[in-house]
Chains A and B, each alone.
Chain A
Amino acid sequence: MDPVSVNPTALMPPALRLRGLTKRFGQTPAVQDLDLEVPRGSFYGFVGPNGAGKTTTLSMATGLMRPDAGTAEVVGIDVWAQPSEAKRSMGVLADGVLLFNKLTGAQLVTYAGLLRGMDRETVESRTADLLRVLGLEEAKGKLVQDYSAGMTKKIALASAMVHAPELLVLDEPFEAVDPVSARTIRGLLESYVGSGGTVILSSHVMDLVQRMCSHVGIIAEGRLLASGTLEEVRGGSDLETRFVELVGLEGGDQELAWLQL
């Protein structure tokens, strides 16, 4: 899979552009002056250790958290100045967020579609398609609260995609997902990118990002340490090595003497 690097879309505004994004919680800075660009048609992996500011950044990009400073643009539209226009082009899977889990799977996706103002027939046929592709057809009549973790992620992804957005913002789409579901999600995302969509996903599984993504951004302590195409960022070595180099080891190579059984 070789993603598009030079083509006419390069002249259009990027799918997502964050400029000077800053957020402080009390005295602690969570995200500091962060600039990030996700080119159209790219599969962007946003990686960083826990607490690095991934979720905060993505929340500010999707309208869930108001930034202290800076702007976020989706296909050239400012998320905070023209929220309803910007949100039309974007599908979001937020992390650590509940779903309306007293609805059945089919109801939830329908709800997401209708909230977007789509007509009933389109919502109905797309819901059926999504449930089929994601292998949720049999569970579509079950309440979401009875879904497994993998099924929950998949139904959330379906809700984020039902309006066929140009950009998908996925916060930890593979967390707590079994390998089979992960493969299904991955397949769907790859065909979406292949057909011209753009994905930015956050993860801390380096291996996964390395295999799937065309672009990578590494964040730690609220700052973007590196970004660009996968090749540029990893520069010859593998992503995990590069990541640890940038972020730094913790605890060094100390051993626990009493744990030598």
Chain B
Amino acid sequence: MVATLIRLKRDLTFNGFNQSVWHILGTIFAGLYGLGIVGMIFSLQVMEGGAAVIDAEFVRTASVLMGSAIFLLWLIIPVFVSGADTAMNPRQFITYGIPRRGLILGLALTGLISIGAVLTVIWLIGQVLHWRWDAAAAATAVTTLPLLLITFSLVSQAVTTSISAWLSGRRSRDFLAILALGLMVLLYPIMIGLESAFSSLADAVPTVVDILALTPLGAGAALPADAAAGDWGMFMIRLAILAATAALAVVVIRAALVKITERPTVQSSSGSKSDQGLGLFARFPATPWGAVAARASTYWLKDSRYGGTLVLLPAFVVLAVVMYSQLDAPWVLLALGPVFGWMLGFAISADISYDHSAFALHITSGVSGTADRVGRLVGLLSFGLPITLLSALIPAVMFTGPATTAALVGASVGLLLSTAGFSCLVSARFTYPVPKPGDGPLSQPSGSTGRLMIVQLGMLVATVALMLPEVILVIVWLISGDSWLGWALGIAAVLKGLGLVWIGVTLGARVFERSQPELFQTVSQY
């Protein structure tokens, strides 16, 4: 049974490569990226382990920190990738009646057929070399290698299976993903908090390492250090922690599998509130573009794939306020307006990809290119403009004079309009894969990395080029210091933004009408 599952995973992996060149390129790229990082760590481990004077404390610190980070990755990655459609979703095995023990072991082992596992093995071998100056420590590192690897895999599988069992609802999955995203953004304030708790980050490290080494995160990686120090009491305690972690993971997987296979819940109709009115459709004009705008704004409110972007905004505000209070540098707050303008303008660059095959309705109703483009733009601006205005205006009024305020507000709004106008044009021709309707904001479609990065990078470069006039004006302003230049900058930025919107909509509409069927065929494949 276990062998069958492993063969299945192998076949699924290789068949995935047949899908598209982008999938292969994406995998290679991700693999190389990971290999680069792990390679660097590996060479460090080898060098440190062979140094003339060995600082045992340093080796321990490095081991525990890296071990904890890798454990955390195994823990977190499934939260991001596990949608309804991971290759080895246990839900798919319900109908086969596979003995549970075989399924648990099989799933844990198939988790090892991945780039992540290969990279982890490299790190674990590096770990052995890192400790090679002490026989007992090196022996420990060798013997705990498979133990750690299987624990990582079990824990990762436990997360995947639990999500599938208890958090399969669309809402809870979105919530989880957005929570993880928010945490990532808030990592900096957390670090700052840690730093202020101790006098400096360097002072905090020994305490942090000692605590980590007593948690499942770092216990396994700290084992060689105990062996080297001859502290066999702690060694046994940490070994027990590691064993308990693995055991707990097995228990969790088991319980989750019982839930999935023996008490499968029917996807309930989330009991959404019945909304009798027409919502935003009653508020926008009763024209084709008004309808598109109403639909787009409705999606911004209801579809978590769009909402994911909006959730980032308050997280950024928190981040900026924390950074300001720490560094006493108002520029972080002043940067909010332009950053939001740029982010929001970009947000409609994937609009048609988000529609997926529902875009068919636009084609079969013969919506004009202008109505489609203007509608999506107005949908964004209806809330994007006030957000950008406020986020530029409030900090500017707090910290600067009228000229700078005018420049900042103008530049933010101009940036929003410029990128939005540019998105109107580009999104009519270049699409990239996005999560499917109904998926969470973070579930990346397979085989998308390559194309996604190329389109986004291209757009990034292009928007930077579009911002050149503003940059030149800012430089002139900073050099001459004339306050009227601030006003000129603000007005020029807005005018340029309006011009780009006009160009983006006009050209975008033409491109849209010419390439409708091709657009549809592409986005419905995502």
Inter-chain contacts of B325 with A (CB < 8 A): none
Chain B residues with CB below 8 A from A106, complex form: 276, 278
Residues of A within 8 A of B364 (CB): 62-64, 87, 90-92, 94, 160
Q: Which of A102, A117, A141 contacts B302 (CB 8 A)?
A: A102
Would A99 and B358 count as touching, CB distance under 8 A? yes
Residue B168 interfacial (CB < 8 Å): no
Bitwise, A110-142 to B at CB < 8 A (1) or not (0) is 111011110110010000000000000000111
Whether B286 pairs with A119 at a CB distance below 8 angstroms is yes
Q: Of B272, B357, B513, B516, which is within 8 A of A96 by CB? A: B357
A contact residues around B356 at 8 Å (CB): 98
Quick one: given A65-B517, A106-B278, A107-B279, are A114 and B291 in contact (CB under 8 Å)? yes
Please report whether the interface of chain B is mostly helix, strand, loop or mixed according to DSSP.
helix
Q: Could you tell me if B276 and A114 are in contact, using CB atoms closer than 8 angstroms? A: no
Chain B residues near A241 (CB-CB < 8 A):
none
| Nearest chain A CB to B267 CB, angstrom units | 10
Flag if B517 contacts A114 (CB, 8 Å): no
B321 to chain A, nearest CB (A): 33
Contact indicator B276/A141 (Cβ below 8 Å): yes
| A/B pair count, beta carbons within 8 Å | 118
Contacts of B358 in A (CB 8 A): 97-101
Q: In the complex, which residues of chain A have a beta carbon less than 8 angstroms from the beta carbon of B294?
A: 111
Tell me if A22 is interfacial: C-beta within 8 Å of chain B. Answer: no
Taking A66-B518, A94-B364, A114-B281 as contacts, is the C-beta distance between A100 and B295 under 8 angstroms? yes
Q: Decide if A83 is an interface residue (CB 8 Å cutoff).
A: yes
For window 176-222 of chain A, which residues contact chain B by CB distance below 8 Å? none
Judge if A103 is at the interface, Cβ distance under 8 Å: yes
Contact of A120 among B286, B438, B518, B524 (CB under 8 A): B286
Contacts of B517 in A (CB 8 A): 63-66
B362 CB-CB contact with A under 8 Å: yes
Q: Is A5 an interface residue (CB 8 A)?
A: no
Q: Is the CB of A103 within 8 A of B298?
A: yes
Q: Chain B residues near A111: list those with CB within 8 A.
A: 281, 291, 294-295, 361
B351-392 CB mask vs A (1 if < 8 Å, else 0) is 000011110111111111001000000000000000000000
Task: Point out the residues of chain B lying under 8 angstroms from A112, CB to CB.
Answer: 361, 365
For residue A159, CB closer than 8 A to chain B, the reply is yes
Contact A114 B286 (CB under 8 A): yes
Tell me if B361 and A115 are in contact (CB < 8 A): yes
Q: State in angstroms the CA–CA spacing of A247 and B428 once bound together.
A: 41
Q: Taking CB as reference atom, which chain B residue is nearest A59?
A: B517
Q: Mark A130-161, 1 if CB is under 8 A from B, else 0.
A: 00000000001111011000000000000110
Determine the chain B residues whose CB is within 8 A of the CB of A63 once the complex forms.
363-364, 366, 516-517
Asked whether B275 lies within 8 Å of A115 as measured between CB atoms, the reply is: no
Bitwise, A71-102 to B at CB < 8 A (1) or not (0) is 00000000000011011101110101111111
Closest to B270 in A: A146
* CA–CA, A101 and B305, complex, Å: 14
B278 touches A100 (CB 8 A): no
B294, B299, B363, B513 — most chain A CB neighbours (10 Å) = B363
With both beta carbons as reference points, the residue of chain B lying nearest to A79 in the complex is identified as: B366
CB-based contact B360/A102 at 8 Å: no
**Interface pair B279/A104, CB less than 8 Å apart:** yes
A97 to B287, CA, bound (A): 24
- The answer to whether B302 touches A123, judged by C-beta atoms less than 8 angstroms apart, is no
Chain B 69-104, CB-CB to A under 8 Å as 1, else 0, gives 000000000000000000000000000000000000
**Is B48 engaged at the interface, CB distance under 8 Å to the other chain?**
no
Known: A65-B517, A83-B366, A102-B298. A159 touches B278 (CB 8 A): no
- Chain B positions within 8 Å of A116 at CB level: 288, 365-366
Minimum CB–CB distance from B348 to chain A (whole Å) comes to 16
- Type the 1/0 row for A209-253, where 1 means its CB is closer than 8 Å to any CB of B: 000000000000000000000000000000000000000000000
Instruction: Decide if B338 is an interface residue (CB 8 Å cutoff).
Output: no
A159 touches B361 (CB 8 A): yes
Provide the residues of chain A in CB contact with B355, threshold 8 Å.
100
Asked if B4 CB lies within 8 Å of chain A CBs, one says: no
- Establish whether residues A145 and B438, one from each chain, have CB atoms under 8 Å apart when the complex forms: yes
In the bound complex, do residue B524 and residue A97 qualify as a contact, i.e. CB atoms below 8 Å apart? yes
The residue that A114 contacts in the complex, of B275, B288, B303, B366, with Cβ under 8 A, is B288
Contact of A98 among B281, B291, B357 (CB under 8 A): B357
Q: Say if the beta carbon of B123 comes within 8 Å of chain A.
A: no
Chain B contacts of A96 at CB under 8 A? 357
User: Nearest-CB distance from B86 to chain A (Å)?
Assistant: 21
- The reply to whether B279 and A117 contact each other, CB–CB distance below 8 Å, is no
Which residues of A line the B interface, CB within 8 A?
62-66, 83-84, 86-88, 90-92, 94, 96-104, 106-107, 110-112, 114-117, 119-120, 123, 140-143, 145-146, 159-160, 163
A-B pairs with beta carbons under 8 Å apart, 22 shown? A62-B364, A63-B364, A64-B360, A84-B366, A87-B364, A94-B360, A97-B524, A98-B437, A102-B298, A103-B298, A104-B279, A107-B279, A111-B361, A112-B361, A115-B362, A116-B366, A117-B287, A117-B288, A123-B286, A140-B276, A143-B302, A146-B269
Known: A97-B357, A100-B299. 18 other contacts (CB 8 A): A64-B360, A66-B517, A66-B518, A91-B364, A96-B357, A97-B524, A99-B358, A100-B358, A102-B299, A103-B298, A104-B274, A110-B291, A114-B286, A114-B290, A115-B291, A116-B365, A141-B276, A146-B270
User: What 10 A-B pairs have minimum CB-CB distances, sorted nearest first?
Assistant: A87-B366, A114-B291, A141-B274, A120-B286, A92-B364, A146-B269, A115-B365, A97-B357, A84-B366, A102-B302
